[in-house]
Amino acid sequence: MKKIVTVLFIFIAASAFPQKIDDVFKTMPNSILPGLSDGNRTMLLVDTGKTVIPYSLGEIEKLAYAPDFLKIKTSG
């Protein structure tokens, strides 16, 4: 019985599709990063290397980007 449950769990986990960071970051509520406009969010997602975006509370710097990962640094 344990083997069946384990195999079933592995099959379900392997068949799940991850979300892309583009969709998650664009639909993120404004309370997480207040003052960041939709245009600035799109600019952070465009793969142009290292990007610094000014916004009302300082700056946001993109440190790393992959289809399933976005690392940003805020100032202030």
Does the pTM surpass 0.85? The reply is no
pLDDT at 76 over 70: no
pLDDT of 14-66, one tens digit each? 777 778 888 888 888 888 888 888 888 888 888 676 688 888 888 889 888 88
pLDDT at 67 over 80: yes
Q: How far apart are CA 20 and CA 54, in angstroms?
A: 24
- pLDDT at position 6, please? 93
Q: How far apart are CA 69 and CA 21, in angstroms?
A: 6
